[in-house]
């Protein structure tokens, strides 16, 4: 017996019982024909919190009144602005405060972290990643290999699902890592795969990587703010993510970086540098000797882009209020309900390629369509659903617990079958 029912009344009952339901009102929901859309693309660009404008305005006001003095005398002095978001960031990814910093953008950070974490030798130079990793990650890793004089065809090991399967089995990932025990330098995997929505067993992947002497890093673009992460406890070497997907921090918003504590006091590690990574108390002495700050902050280069960071701050405060654990509890229900509805009335024969095991997915479901996929997607669009189309035949939908409702799930499936 399933605990769910395929009815609008039941969906509304779940919404009425949802302790996080009031957070929806803190966001602007796009409208089509005067009605709230079913917004299922928080995995691509999160919606705008109503407080974002106030956070940005505060900094505009301080700039207006103080000019450069805003660095020290503004309400939130810009000189140490990254500190205003470090505690929340650490909480979201399961890190110590010293292990995180927000800076730059995601692919920039991915490349930057390679300076420290990809030091290939003639014999140990390979990088393992998912075959269907996000293209930006493929480009970055290919060029990193090339930059060090390797042929990407040889240096990049791609993980493919088994014949007839869509997602990767942990045992296969681990076997591949062990197979490359002598030549693997780096494991670089998306924590949650952007295409299939699969949430990998990060802890065991870290252990496997370390057991053969490789560094293990994750791209958490689709994991941060979506699933529970324990980067410190899992002993992840490094990670980076963007803030504009689940973290609702404005288009192209600032990226986050995690560097494990074990590297926090190692000024000798290779890294690129700039004045913002240097010791804070000596920064304005304009000395020529670079002494990095302890922790992830020592990887900063430029002074912080205050306006985008203020947008990030606005959203992080809402996450703190809601709590990641609570969000995850709702997220599991929301996605389970959506999955139930799709399977319950699946006249179109759609296949959900995202794992059905809740421990192996975040909120996203990826639907494999038959030959009429593109038309189906257009029908959804016309009826006020914002979803995401991926060539050749996948529709990605992400009911996010922060602002989506059980009624959204019901409406989506109703339109799908209409």
Ligand X SMILES: *Cc1c(COP(=O)(O)O)cnc(C)c1O
How far is 328 from 311, CA to CA, in rounded Å? 23
Output the smallest distance, CB 51 to ligand X, in A.
23
Determine, following the binding rule CB under 6 A, whether residue 159 of this chain makes contact with ligand X. Answer: no
Determine, following the binding rule CB under 6 A, whether residue 136 of this chain makes contact with ligand X. Answer: yes
Output the smallest distance, CB 120 to ligand X, in A.
22
Q: Are 206 and 238 in contact (CB under 8 A)?
A: no
How far is 169 from 208, CA to CA, in rounded Å? 14
- The smaller minimum CB distance to ligand X, of residues 190 and 209, is found at 190
State the number of binding residues for ligand X (CB under 6 A): 12
Taking the CA atoms of residue 384, residue 385, residue 389 and residue 394 in that order, the dihedral angle to the nearest 10 degrees is -130
Site for ligand X in 78-117 (CB under 6 A): 105-107
Q: Please name the helix (run of DSSP H) or strand (run of DSSP E) that holds residue 211, with its range, or none.
A: helix 202-211
- The smaller minimum CB distance to ligand X, of residues 48 and 308, is found at 308
- The smaller minimum CB distance to ligand X, of residues 140 and 383, is found at 140
Helix (H, G, I), strand (E, B) or coil at 276: helix
Determine, following the binding rule CB under 6 A, whether residue 221 of this chain makes contact with ligand X. Answer: yes
Q: Pattern of binders to ligand X over 239-278, x per CB under 6 A?
A: ---x------------------------------------
CA distances in angstroms from 29 to 37, 180, 332, 387, 411, listed in the order given: 7, 48, 22, 14, 15
- The smaller minimum CB distance to ligand X, of residues 197 and 298, is found at 197
- The smaller minimum CB distance to ligand X, of residues 84 and 134, is found at 134
Q: How far is CA 412 from the centre of its chain?
A: 24
Determine, following the binding rule CB under 6 A, whether residue 222 of this chain makes contact with ligand X. Answer: yes
Q: Please name the helix (run of DSSP H) or strand (run of DSSP E) that holds residue 108, with its range, or none.
A: helix 106-117
- The smaller minimum CB distance to ligand X, of residues 100 and 106, is found at 106
DSSP conformation class of 25: G
How far is 291 from 152, CA to CA, in rounded Å? 34
Q: Are 217 and 237 in contact (CB under 8 A)?
A: yes
Determine, following the binding rule CB under 6 A, whether residue 393 of this chain makes contact with ligand X. Answer: no
How far is 298 from 304, CA to CA, in rounded Å? 13
* Pair of tokens at residue 291: 């002494």
Output the smallest distance, CB 221 to ligand X, in A.
3
Q: Which residue in the set 137, 183, 201, 388 belongs to the binding site for ligand X (CB under 6 A)?
A: 137
Of 85-93, 219-227, 260-268, 364-372, which part binds ligand X (CB under 6 A)? 219-227
Q: Which residue in the set 219, 237, 333, 360 belongs to the binding site for ligand X (CB under 6 A)?
A: 219
How far is 403 from 36, CA to CA, in rounded Å? 12
Q: Which residue in the set 27, 78, 134, 410 belongs to the binding site for ligand X (CB under 6 A)?
A: 134
Q: Are 45 and 388 in contact (CB under 8 A)?
A: no
Of 167-175, 215-223, 327-335, 360-368, which part binds ligand X (CB under 6 A)? 215-223
| Angle CA 36–42–46, to nearest 5 | 90
Q: Which residue in the set 78, 81, 150, 194 belongs to the binding site for ligand X (CB under 6 A)?
A: 194
Output the smallest distance, CB 302 to ligand X, in A.
16
Nearest to 201 by CA among 183, 221, 218: 218
- The smaller minimum CB distance to ligand X, of residues 105 and 346, is found at 105
Output the smallest distance, CB 241 to ligand X, in A.
8
Instruction: Please enumerate in sequence order all residues whose Cβ is within 8 A of that of 99, keeping only pairs 6 or more positions apart, or say none.
Output: 90, 231, 232, 258, 259, 260, 261, 264, 295, 296
- The smaller minimum CB distance to ligand X, of residues 221 and 322, is found at 221
- The smaller minimum CB distance to ligand X, of residues 243 and 310, is found at 243
What pairs with residue 258 in β-bridges? 100, 239
Q: Which residues bind ligand X (CB under 6 A)?
A: 105-107, 134, 136-137, 190, 194, 219, 221-222, 242
């Amino acid at each position: 017996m399933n605990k769910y029912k395929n009815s609008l009344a039941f969906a509304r009952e779940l919404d009425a019982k949802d302790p996080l339901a009031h957070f929806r009102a803190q966001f602007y929901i796009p409208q089509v024909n005067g009605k709230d859309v079913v917004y299922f693309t928080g995995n691509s660009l999160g919606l705008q919190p109503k407080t974002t404008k106030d956070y940005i305005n505060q900094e505009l006001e301080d700039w207006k009144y103080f000019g450069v003095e805003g660095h020290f005398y503004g309400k939130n002095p810009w000189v140490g602005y990254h500190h205003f978001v470090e505690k929340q960031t650490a909480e979201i990814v399961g890190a110590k405060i010293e292990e995180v910093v927000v800076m730059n953008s995601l692919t920039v950070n991915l490349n930057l972290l390679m300076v420290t974490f990809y030091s290939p030798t003639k014999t140990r130079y390979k990088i393992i990643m998912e075959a269907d990793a996000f293209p930006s990650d493929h480009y970055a890793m290919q060029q990193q290999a090339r930059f060090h004089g390797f042929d990407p065809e040889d240096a990049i090991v791609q993980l493919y699902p088994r014949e007839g399967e869509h997602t990767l089995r942990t045992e296969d990932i681990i076997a591949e890592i062990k197979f490359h025990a002598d030549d693997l330098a780096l494991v670089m995997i998306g924590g949650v795969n952007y295409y299939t929505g699969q949430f990998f067993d990060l802890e065991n992947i870290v252990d496997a990587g370390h057991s053969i002497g490789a560094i293990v890093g994750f791209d958490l673009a689709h994991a941060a703010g979506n699933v529970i992460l324990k980067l410190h406890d899992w002993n992840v070497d490094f990670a980076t993510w963007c803030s504009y997907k689940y973290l609702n921090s404005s288009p192209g918003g600032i990226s986050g970086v995690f560097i494990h504590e074990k590297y926090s006091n190692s000024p000798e590690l290779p890294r690129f540098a700039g004045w913002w990574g240097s010791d804070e108390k000596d920064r304005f002495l304009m000395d020529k000797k670079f002494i990095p700050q302890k922790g992830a902050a020592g990887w900063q280069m430029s002074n912080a882009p205050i306006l985008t960071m203020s947008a990030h701050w606005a959203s992080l405060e809402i996450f703190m209020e809601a709590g990641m654990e609570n969000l995850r509890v709702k997220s599991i229900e929301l996605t389970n309900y959506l999955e139930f509805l799709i399977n319950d009335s699946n006249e179109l024969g759609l296949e959900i390629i995202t794992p059905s095991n809740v421990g192996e997915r975040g909120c996203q479901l990826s639907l494999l369509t038959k030959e009429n996929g593109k038309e189906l997607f257009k029908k959804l669009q016309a009826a006020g659903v914002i979803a995401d189309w991926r060539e050749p035949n996948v529709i990605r939908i992400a009911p996010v617990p922060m602002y989506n409702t059980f009624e959204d799930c019901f409406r989506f499936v109703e339109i799908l079958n209409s």
